[in-house]
Chains A and B, each alone.
Chain A
Amino acid sequence: MNHTPDPTTAGHGGAFDPREAAALLEQTTRQARRQFAPAQPWLLAIRAVLVLAALGAVWLSVRGQHPYHGPGASALLIVAAFVIINFTATVAVRRRATAGVSGRSRFSPAEITVMVVAYIAPFVVLAALGDTGDNHSGTLLTVPLIVAGLAWAALSAVRADWRSCGTGLAVAVTGAAGAAAGQAGAWAVTGVGLCLTLLGTAAVIARQLDRA
């Protein structure tokens, strides 16, 4: 079968070896998937370790309290630092991955609003109920996780993103298990649950990225 020589094959003389083509196809697909991935496995693994360390530190500071009066200022500072680092790194990586991309990969303003409301609303409701004191800090940790996890799962289901849907459900289950563990136990259960969720998500994404 003869084809008209293609001037845009310059440098390859039109003879592009099929083995080279297969290698190039695999390499390009793998690189592109990595570039466009909004969550990187290495970042998720780091977040898993950090959340375990942050919530574990709080649990160590509250586990012997009878009655429970909540974590000290230094422990809360560790948690606040984790939340800020986590949020900043996630947004930066996502922004880099979706630079120049438009369409379904990007969240719509409505989706962003739903997530922000899902995270803030539980604090507002708990404040209205008067459940915001230090002795309710376990509740303040777990209830927003349940609501935000379910909201994330619902948004992901609408997008038919079943991996993210699973992550959202795992976060919600972690929050529920933490809530059942009591005020002090909530910190340990939530730390372990979120760590496992993040590690599991990292493993699934790493597998997806490696499958060219």
Chain B
Amino acid sequence: MKDSTATTGDLDPLIHVPTRLKIIATLAALPDGDTLSFTRLQDLIGLTPGNLIIHLRKLEEADYISSSKARNGNASITTVAITGHGRAALGTYTRALRELLGGL
């Protein structure tokens, strides 16, 4: 039975990092298809821009999030959104976490 053999190894290593867990959980709180500006996400997570970019890049490489840049006058606005794949990965991670904690 999976419940009795669940280990931390079953947890997606890409999500099982405090900062990335916060990022993906925050983006998942938005309705499907909504995007969030980089600056608002930074405010919510409380990271420096450099740190946030590193984590976002990792999530984007795995296709868990998508990002896009739009020009607004002279400024450029970066927005990020969770993808369907990312939402599914968070669901799988949450289930794995429940199984693991249920077995502890």
| Closest chain A residue to B33, Cβ basis | A103
Report A-chain residues with C-beta under 8 Å of the C-beta of B31. Answer: 103-105
Q: Judging by beta carbons under 8 Å apart, are B17 and A16 in contact?
A: yes
Query: How many chain A residues touch B (Cβ–Cβ < 8 Å)?
Result: 28
**B interface list, Cβ under 8 A from A:** 7-9, 11, 13, 16-22, 25-26, 28-37, 39-41, 44, 54-55, 58, 79, 81, 94, 97-98, 100-101, 104
Total inter-chain residue pairs, C-beta < 8 Å? 93
Task: Find A18's partner among B8, B20, B22 (CB 8 Å cutoff).
Answer: B8
Q: Judging by beta carbons under 8 Å apart, are B34 and A12 in contact?
A: no
The verdict on A25 contacting B20 (CB below 8 Å), with A32-B25, A32-B44, A103-B33 known, is: no
| Closest chain A residue to B96, Cβ basis | A18
Q: Judging by beta carbons under 8 Å apart, are A19 and B101 in contact?
A: yes
Task: Find A100's partner among B8, B33, B36, B98 (CB 8 Å cutoff).
Answer: B36
The verdict on A9 contacting B17 (CB below 8 Å), with A99-B40, A101-B35 known, is: yes
Task: Find A103's partner among B18, B35, B97, B100 (CB 8 Å cutoff).
Answer: B35
Interfacial residues of chain A within 13-52, with CB under 8 A of chain B in the complex? 16, 18-22, 24-25, 28-29, 31-33, 35-36
Q: Judging by beta carbons under 8 Å apart, are B30 and A105 in contact?
A: yes
Q: Judging by beta carbons under 8 Å apart, are A101 and B36 in contact?
A: yes
Report A-chain residues with C-beta under 8 Å of the C-beta of B35. Answer: 101-103
Q: Judging by beta carbons under 8 Å apart, are B13 and A3 in contact?
A: yes
Report B-chain residues with C-beta under 8 Å of the C-beta of A101. Answer: 30, 34-37, 40
Give me 5 other A-B pairs in contact (C-beta within 8 A), A12-B18, A101-B37 excluded. Answer: A8-B19, A18-B97, A28-B21, A28-B22, A36-B30
